[in-house]
């Protein structure tokens, strides 16, 4: 029969500080790993530039943008402009509602009887755009454009000029459509 030697628990002058250090580390990891879910924490103007090009080899600089403006505790106006190869773009705006998972969701009729379901999902480092089923792409993008998987980092967020946005026709249209959805559109949740 083999005997198993038990190690004594950590004790001595370093036990309490070691325990506290491990506890603080675990708490820090848990807190930073959680995505942001309050619209207040997400609001801002996100943008980044990158090298792009035409099919003929000509190079140019592009900029992707996402403006996010809180309207209520559970809704936000968004306006996104995405640039793709050969000058193709995606432009989509509206009012998105906060779902139980902390994501902002926008729904509107697309083409071919489909519904555009656009999402803005907070992550630890930023926001990721989604286009469930690709119906938003059909009504807002050129041939080489897409929405799903586009990321905006919190470090690329700047100040939002809320007064200018509220004065725009697009903002007024989006708020009106959110308050009075067109017939045939999906209900806001």
Structural contact between residues 52 and 61, judged by C-beta atoms closer than 8 angstroms: yes
Q: Which of 22-36, 41-55, 129-143 has the lowest mean pLDDT?
A: 22-36
Assess if residue 4 is contained within a domain: no
Residue 8: predicted pLDDT: 55
Assess if residue 29 is contained within a domain: no
What band does 65 get if pLDDT is binned at 50, 70 and 90?
very high
5 pLDDT exceeds 80?
A: no
* Mean pLDDT, residues 100-122 taken together: 94
Give the Cβ contact number of residue 11 at 10 Å. 8
- Total number of domains constituting the chain: 1
For residue 67, the enclosing domain spans 39-179
Q: Residues 6 or more apart from 85 whose CB is under 8 A from it?
A: 52, 53, 54, 55, 144
Residue 35: predicted pLDDT: 47
Assess if residue 21 is contained within a domain: no
Residue 10: predicted pLDDT: 59
132 pLDDT exceeds 90?
A: yes
Assess if residue 3 is contained within a domain: no
How many whole angstroms separate alpha carbon 168 and alpha carbon 60?
Answer: 29
Assess if residue 50 is contained within a domain: yes
Residue 60: predicted pLDDT: 83
């Amino acid at each position: 029969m083999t005997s198993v030697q038990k190690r004594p628990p950590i004790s001595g002058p370093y036990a309490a500080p070691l325990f506290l250090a491990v506890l603080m580390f675990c708490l820090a990891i848990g807190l930073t790993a959680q995505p942001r879910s309050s619209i207040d924490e997400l609001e801002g103007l996100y943008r980044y530039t990158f090298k792009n090009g035409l099919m003929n080899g000509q190079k140019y600089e592009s900029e992707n943008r996402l403006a996010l403006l809180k309207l209520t505790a559970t809704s936000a106006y968004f306006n996104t402009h995405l640039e793709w190869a050969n000058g193709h773009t995606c432009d989509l705006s509206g009012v998105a509602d906060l779902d139980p998972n902390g994501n902002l969701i926008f729904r509107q009729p697309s083409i071919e009887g489909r519904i555009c379901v656009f999402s803005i999902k907070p992550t630890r480092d930023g926001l990721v755009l989604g286009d469930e089923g690709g119906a938003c792409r059909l009504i807002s993008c050129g041939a080489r454009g897409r929405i799903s998987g586009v990321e905006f980092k919190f470090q690329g967020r700047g100040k939002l000029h809320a007064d200018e946005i509220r004065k725009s026709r697009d903002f007024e249209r989006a708020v009106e459509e959110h308050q009075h959805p067109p017939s045939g559109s999906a209900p806001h949740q």
